[in-house]
Amino acid sequence: MEAAAEARDADVSFALDCAFHRLIFAVAGIEEAWHVLHGATGQLDRLRRWVFPSHPGLFAEALDEHRRILAALEAGDGAAAQAAMKGHLDDTVAVPARILAEDPGMIRMDAEDLQMFTSVIRSA
């Protein structure tokens, strides 16, 4: 993940991101939920693939968030892992809003679409 983030390689970064999250679901015994969530994030994935290379800070943010999640899991600290994952998901949900604020014409997403997207991610 580190090498892909440093290289700003969206394809490798997103493949590793997907594997990281899927592994967490599998270890938690809820891999079926992964399939549901992954199926609902197609628009977000397309947006991230498009935006991340031109916003290098996003790679570093995601990597830092993954490190916090992993450290909490390795320490067996469920509360810290939950808090780290919540922070990661909150930041993920914030990406479309950040992009809209920077360039309102970049993506077509009105307030209602953004609210729907946010509720899908947070309910997963």
Closest CA to 82 of 26, 24, 1: 24
Cβ distance 122 to 93 under 8 Å?
A: yes
Give pLDDT tens digits for 55-64.
778 888 889 9
Amino acid at 14: F
Residue 80, SS3?
helix
Distance CA 84, CA 74 (A): 13
The rounded distance, in Å, linking the Cα atoms of 33 and 26 is 9
**Cα gap 20→89, rounded to integer Å:** 14
pLDDT of 15 > 70? The answer is: yes
- Whether the full predicted model's pTM is greater than 0.95, yes or no, is no
According to DSSP, residue 22 is labeled H
Residue the block writes with tokens 């992009």: 99
Q: For position 118, what pLDDT does the model report? A: 66
Sign of the CA dihedral 41, 89, 108, 106? Answer: negative
pLDDT score recorded for residue 5: 79
